[in-house]
């Protein structure tokens, strides 16, 4: 009883600190990096509650998934390094030290991912500026190989569930800050907080929405999860990120289809439309007009210029591309520079050509097929079926988002393939035989 009271007291203290930080963040010009540092300290403090040596690695992975919401980075010797970069390497080293029997990735995933990574490395040979290729190459190795290995080595379905919850709660905390800041400033347009671009903010909370709905399907009608859902939905609307909205809708629809509840897709779309109507009616009467703005200074219009530019450059190097990391565009009318065509498939095509695009598509098709195979494999196991669907919904939500926005940010890239690692891990994690026979969705 005393141990239980102590644990709840510690949770109450941590929650109070989180709320205090939320108010500090909206009241004072605190650097984003300071907030990120405090967030890391808070998650480490949470991880230390009742920790045992055997759970050290699993707790670290929960922190890692939660930290992917922090997409900002610091420049060290001219190189941008994010918190998730540092923590991923630490987790990988911890995996090697604490778990000598590292689970090997499925051969098919290893074949597709390493083929894509190897071809990206080959593109250095014909790149107009090989030094520009180093950073994206390292990122791809982090996301698609190291990150997947780290999350694939989670030992139980309970640990995967807790990792997803940590991501959801962290997203909701960011949502609290966003909502408070919107009311403090007087909401009048896209929301930018703590150094988050509106699309980065939208990605964090948008990817959390299908995960929250999946957890509610698995764990029942949790009031806390309902609050998280409301916060993330409101923050998504406030961000005005069209790509994040599309991704979230696709993620939820895929979630329902994979758990055998296709009829809920219609009710979800209706509920979303009602929520948007209420938001527009009571909070932002001019919201739809701003969301659909298409004048020469809007982000939507800039995409037309970017797409025309990238198509022209693709024609110059159709088969091999111009080299990894070499795409750049400058739009002087709006003083805008970017190294991404706002579409992950166009990015592959312009930088590593048709061959690289085919390899990336094959990797995605393998992941889609793995999700469908899990649906069949876990047909009579409710917990594993829903967990697999949650992980895939996180992946497909972000993949859908980056068809109209910048492709690989450090945090979201690791989140995307971390979800793949957890989805694949469910196949090797032992399942309760009674649950497998009797559970159904």
Q: Is residue 137 predicted with pLDDT exceeding 80? A: yes
Pairing outcome for strands 79-82 and 73-76 = antiparallel
- Select, from the ranges 97-101, 193-197, 268-272, the one with the highest average predicted confidence (pLDDT): 268-272
Would you call 387 exposed, middle or buried from its count of C-beta atoms within 10 A (0-12, 13-18, 19+)?
buried
Helices (H), 68-106: 83-98
Token pair for 293: 């703005």
Calculate mean pLDDT across residues 199-203: 92
Q: Is residue 325 predicted with pLDDT exceeding 60? A: yes
The pLDDT value recorded for residue 77 is 59
The pLDDT value recorded for residue 210 is 97
Q: Is residue 102 predicted with pLDDT exceeding 70? A: yes
Q: Is residue 328 predicted with pLDDT exceeding 80? A: yes
Mean of the per-residue pLDDT values of the chain: 83
Calculate mean pLDDT across residues 212-241: 91
For residues 154 and 58, is the Cβ–Cβ distance under 8 A? Answer: yes
Calculate mean pLDDT across residues 113-129: 95
Looking up tokens 């960011």, which residue turns up?
174
User: Distance between CA 246 and CA 398 in Å, rounded?
Assistant: 9
């Amino acid at each position: 009883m005393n141990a239980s009271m102590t644990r709840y007291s510690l949770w109450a203290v941590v929650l109070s600190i989180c709320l205090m930080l939320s108010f500090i963040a909206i009241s004072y010009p605190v650097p984003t990096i300071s907030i990120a540092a405090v967030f890391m300290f808070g998650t480490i403090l949470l991880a230390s509650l009742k920790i045992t040596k055997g759970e050290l690695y699993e707790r670290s992975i929960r922190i890692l998934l939660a930290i992917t919401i922090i997409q900002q980075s610091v420049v060290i010797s001219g190189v941008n390094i994010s918190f998730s970069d540092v923590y991923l390497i630490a987790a990988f080293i911890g995996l090697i030290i604490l778990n000598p029997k590292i689970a090997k990735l499925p051969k098919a995933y290893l074949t597709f991912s390493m083929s894509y990574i190897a071809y990206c490395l080959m593109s250095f040979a014909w790149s107009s500026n090989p030094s520009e290729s180093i950073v994206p190459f390292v990122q791809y190795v982090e996301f698609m190989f190291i990150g997947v290995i780290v999350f694939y080595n989670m030992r139980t379905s309970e640990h995967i569930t807790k990792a997803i919850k940590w991501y959801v709660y962290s997203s909701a905390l960011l949502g609290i800050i966003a909502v408070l800041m919107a009311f403090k400033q007087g909401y009048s347009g896209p929301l930018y907080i703590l150094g988050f671009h509106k699309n980065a903010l939208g990605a964090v909370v948008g990817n959390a929405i299908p995960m929250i709905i999946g957890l509610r399907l698995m764990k029942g009608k949790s009031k806390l999860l309902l609050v998280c859902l409301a916060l993330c939905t409101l923050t998504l609307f406030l961000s005005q990120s069209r790509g994040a909205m599309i991704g979230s809708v696709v993620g939820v629809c895929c979630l329902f289809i994979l758990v055998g509840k296709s009829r809920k897709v219609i009710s979800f779309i209706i509920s979303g439309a009602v929520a948007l109507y209420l938001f527009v009616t009571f909070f932002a009467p001019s919201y739809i007009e701003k969301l659909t703005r298409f004048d020469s200074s809007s982000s939507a219009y800039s995409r037309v210029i970017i797409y025309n530019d990238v198509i022209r450059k693709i024609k110059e190097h159709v088969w091999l591309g111009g080299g990894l990391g070499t795409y750049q565009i400058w739009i002087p009318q709006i003083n805008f520079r970017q190294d991404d065509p706002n579409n992950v498939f166009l990015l592959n095509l312009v930088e590593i050509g048709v061959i690289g695009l085919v390899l990336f598509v094959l990797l995605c098709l393998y992941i889609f097929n793995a999700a469908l195979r899990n649906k069949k494999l876990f047909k009579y196991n409710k917990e594993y079926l829903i967990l697999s669907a949650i992980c895939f919904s996180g992946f497909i939500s972000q993949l859908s988002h980056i068809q109209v926005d910048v492709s690989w940010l450090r945090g979201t890239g690791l989140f995307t393939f971390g979800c793949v690692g957890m989805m694949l891990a469910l196949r090797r994690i032992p399942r309760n035989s009674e649950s497998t026979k009797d559970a159904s969705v």
